[in-house]
Amino acid sequence: MKILSIDTSSSICSIAVLEDNKILKEMHNNNQKEHSETLMPMINELLKSLNITLDDINLIACAKGPGSFTGIRIGIATAKAFADAKNIPVIGVNSLEALAYCGVIQKGDGEYVSIIDAKNENVYFAIYKMKNGKFSTYKNPEAMAISEMITYVDNLKLPTYFVGDAEIEKIEQLYLAQIAKEKANSNDICSHEYLQDLPPLSIGIAIAALNKYNMGIRENTEDLFPMYLRKPQAQRQKEGMSDDISILEMSYTDLEKIKLNYDKFPNIWEFNVLAEDYNDSKYYIIKQNEEIYGFIGIRIVFEEMEIMNVVTRCDKRKEGFASNLFSFIIRYAHQNKIEKINLEVNENNIQAIKLYKSFGFEEVGKRSKYYNGQDAILMTCYIEN
């Protein structure tokens, strides 16, 4: 399978063609020109040098952010145009995941803390794990202060690799302080390293997209949008919006607020069923600007967790709230020595299945005709403690 990979998420414009995992050719530049001026000539030159055309490409991969707002839009628009014109599958890859894959190329198994500078001592960051050839998400992409980010690195179990462009000195100072605290608590500390001279991001994007494709993950061009972890600063200031997203244990007051807006929370459960399960399970909500945008319910029996329900408000779909809830639950499972997480999902809920697979869930069975005549897919995620 030939993959055309496009990265315009930073000042460097990078493109590559791979044959499965083999790099056929990569090109990049940082000549300070707009990506709109350089991207198409680079692609034409790349394909011509390999004596191929778009008709020979089987998959298009592109960065969808975080990064430069303008650059990301240019790359996605180009990928969409190629995909629609030639009927080629297209997959968007977030830049932090691509960074982790670049680290995997260099180091193999480990936990990868991917970082992109977001200015003013803030970063875009995520944590990924590669173990025995299996890649999974530990902490979903988020924008936060460097000092807060370090707290997420305190219980990683494999060798830890930092990848990206944030200030090493600043991170190291905070990380060493965190390590000192962990040693004082007699916790095991894994080695860490800051990886340099990584492959261009287009390589990581291509390999990530190939893995997603092989897992059955596909995207329609209509569903491919930039990943904006927060709105541009001018727009945020204009709207008076806060970036703060919080995940809290659901209170009875929260449950009553959800009841008042239950029509906005598409759910197979009637509210009285949810209220009854609230008494038997542990529920968490995700809030921004005091508005509840989603919730998740869990039960724990010995070392297993069952996800009872996960819902995002219908007007807040595809804004990362469900992903943030799953990042929280995965971390909760690690901290509480949970060995595996189980859930079930309607076989036709393609977007949810894609999300669950990105966090390492695997299909393990089916319940026939479980959802009003439709099958339920049973999925499990094994937690490495």
Alpha-carbon Rg of the chain, whole angstroms? 21
Q: Number of folded domains in the chain?
A: 3
Cβ proximity of 28 and 199 under 8 Å: no
Q: Are 247 and 262 contained in the same domain?
A: yes
Cβ proximity of 123 and 347 under 8 Å: no
Distance CA 335, CA 331 (A): 6
Q: Are 244 and 336 contained in the same domain?
A: yes
Give, in order, the Cα–Cα distances in Å from 114 to each of 35, 137, 177, 325, 384.
24, 11, 20, 19, 20
Q: Are 119 and 184 contained in the same domain?
A: yes
- DSSP string computed for 145-190: EHHHHHGGGTT--S-EEEEESS-HHHHHHHHHHHHHHHHHTT----
Name the token pair of 252: 């009875």
Q: What was the pLDDT predicted at 183? A: 55
Q: Are 89 and 101 contained in the same domain?
A: no
Q: Are 246 and 179 contained in the same domain?
A: no
Q: What was the pLDDT predicted at 244? A: 65
Domain interval for residue 361: 233-382
Cβ proximity of 62 and 94 under 8 Å: no
Is residue 228 included in any domain, yes or no? no
Distance CA 115, CA 35 (A): 22
Q: Is the peptide bond before 266 cis (omega within 30 degrees of 0)?
A: no
Going by the DSSP 8-state scheme, the letter that residue 352 receives in this structure is H
Q: Are 158 and 171 contained in the same domain?
A: yes
Is residue 21 included in any domain, yes or no? yes
Is residue 354 included in any domain, yes or no? yes
H helices present in 313-380, as ranges? 321-335, 350-358
321: domain CATH number? 3.40.630.30
Name the token pair of 349: 């809920």
Spell out where the chain has E strands: 2-7, 13-19, 22-29, 59-63, 90-93, 110-117, 122-131, 134-145, 160-164, 192-194, 245-249, 282-288, 291-301, 304-312, 340-346, 362-371, 374-382
Distance CA 129, CA 111 (A): 4
pLDDT tens, the chain, 385 aa long: 999 999 999 889 999 999 999 999 999 988 656 888 899 999 999 999 999 999 999 999 999 989 888 889 999 999 999 999 999 999 999 999 999 999 999 999 999 999 998 887 888 989 898 988 888 888 878 888 888 888 777 666 678 899 998 777 777 887 777 666 655 454 555 578 889 899 999 999 999 999 988 877 777 788 788 887 764 454 455 545 455 678 888 888 889 889 998 999 987 789 999 999 988 899 999 988 778 999 999 999 888 999 999 999 998 887 888 988 998 899 888 878 899 999 999 999 888 998 899 888 999 999 998 888 889 999 999 987 6
Q: Are 260 and 363 contained in the same domain?
A: yes
Is residue 227 included in any domain, yes or no? no
Q: What is the 3-state secondary structure (H, E, C) of 235-250?
A: HHHHHCCCCCEEEEEC
* Bridge partner list, 161: 112, 193
Q: Are 245 and 338 contained in the same domain?
A: yes
Q: What was the pLDDT predicted at 172? A: 80
Q: What was the pLDDT predicted at 89? A: 94
Is residue 179 included in any domain, yes or no? yes
Q: Are 87 and 169 contained in the same domain?
A: no
Is residue 226 included in any domain, yes or no? no
Residues 302, 307, 312, CA angle at the centre, nearest 5°? 155
Cβ proximity of 360 and 381 under 8 Å: yes
Cβ proximity of 99 and 107 under 8 Å: no
Q: Are 378 and 270 contained in the same domain?
A: yes
Is residue 378 included in any domain, yes or no? yes
Q: Are 293 and 378 contained in the same domain?
A: yes
Q: Are 130 and 77 contained in the same domain?
A: no
Residue 240's Cβ-side half-sphere holds a number of Cα atoms within 13 Å equal to 0
41: domain CATH number? 3.30.420.40
Is residue 72 included in any domain, yes or no? yes
Going by the DSSP 8-state scheme, the letter that residue 251 receives in this structure is P
The one-letter code for the residue type at 205 is: I
What sign does the CA torsion over 258, 259, 261, 264 have?
A: positive
